[in-house]
Copies of this chain bind each other. A is one copy, B any other.
Amino acid sequence: MGSAPRIAIDAMGGDIGPAVMIAGAAEAYQRRSDLHFILFGDEERIRSEHAKYPQLASACDIVHCPDVITAEDRPSQAIRRAKTTSMGNAIAAVKAGEADAAVSGGNTGALMAMAKLSLRTMPGIDRPALAALLPTLGQNDLVMLDLGANTESDARNLVQFAVMGAAYSRVVLDIDKPRVKLLNIGTEELKGTDELKAAAAVLREAEYLVMRFDGFVEGDKLSHGDVDVVVTDGFSGNIALKTIEGTARFVTDLLRRAFTSSVRSKIGFLISRPATELLRHHLDPNNHNGAVFLGLNGLVVKSHGSANDKGVANAIRVAARMVREDLTRKIIEDLDNIAAHRAQAAAK
């Protein structure tokens, strides 16, 4: 790898479709012109959007797909229509080696099901996981996984999530040895489920992994900036992620109500606008857009359905970064390391 990343884009996915997906591609290309795109979807609609960005002319191939996966499609229905849809063809391009990564803003469940079925799970990984970046008060974002690819996870899954999350944070956050914690309802060793305790016991011993395992973290400490990777089962992870989104919106809604509650507060708001814009920027989900399916034989990035140009550009940049840094190889190396140490320990 190391060459120009070729990104397969499901141009039809998301709330807006081609307009925002192609605008996002143009924005990402403006920053790094070594990108190449393959745009999947309705050719006519794609061409009319594509024509707006002359700079993209030579950077794109267009592949017509007659069908689209909707938000209402069940994963099982989506799978049956993989061959005719923009989403299915974007994933198939990764599988065929024609693209290095796929980006879609479409139905998450369908994307996950299609990606799993087509790309298959990496050797050494039992279940793929969904990972995303969350803002913190510290210098770096944090990586959290699993965010809902699995409803239940055992200790073995959690250890694999830790390995994949650590590799991912090394790539996207540029951290040599990420600090990894397990999400739990207390920090004492006795707290939590048997799965968590067993996973912690394995990670505590595994000094040969490229991470620093730091024990447990509670839900109220996620944003403190003292952890780089938070590992959790998919159920709790999804609850935590959505609760973060909901609470951030709740507080900013209250703030908006407060600032519009009187003429005086409106004036104060206008004066301090640059400050609140900063806050808005920090909390804007577009700046953290791009959730990643880890553990498959191929890279797939889920862009938020409501992401704007900037958000899509971010998701594309995440995909390109994983390609350039060869994330898949890094995960395989770590898994080989675990296997080698297990074999060594067994031989003793």
Contacts and interface: CB of A to CB of B under 8 A. Distances in A.
Interface in A137-158: 137, 148, 151-152
A218 interface: yes
A341 interface: no
Most buried by B among A259, A271, A273: A271
A255 interface: yes
Contact of A243 (B219, B255, B283): B219
Given A192-B151, A247-B243, A271 B267 contact: yes
- For chain A, the bracket of interface size reads 35 or more
Contacts of A200: none
Contact of A268 (B148, B248, B275, B278): B275
B268 A240 contact: no
A267 B258 contact: no
Interface stretch (A53-61, A231-239, A314-322): A231-239
Nearest to A241: B219
Contacts of A148: 185
Contact of A220 (B222, B245, B269): B245
Nearest to A245: B220
Interface string A93-122: 000000000000000000000000000000
Contacts of A235: 185, 192-193, 236
A240 B267 contact: no
Nearest to A108: B186
Contacts of A273: 268
A242 B152 CA distance: 21
B247 A275 contact: no
Contacts of A262: 274-275
Interface string A158-187: 000000000000000000000000010100
Interface string A210-227: 000000001111110000
A273 B183 CA distance: 37
A33 interface: no
A66 interface: no
A265 interface: yes
Nearest to A218: B242
A253 interface: yes
A204 to B, nearest CB: 20
B251 A248 contact: yes
A193 B246 contact: no
A249 interface: yes
B246 A221 contact: yes
Contacts of A243: 219-220, 222, 239-240, 243-244, 247
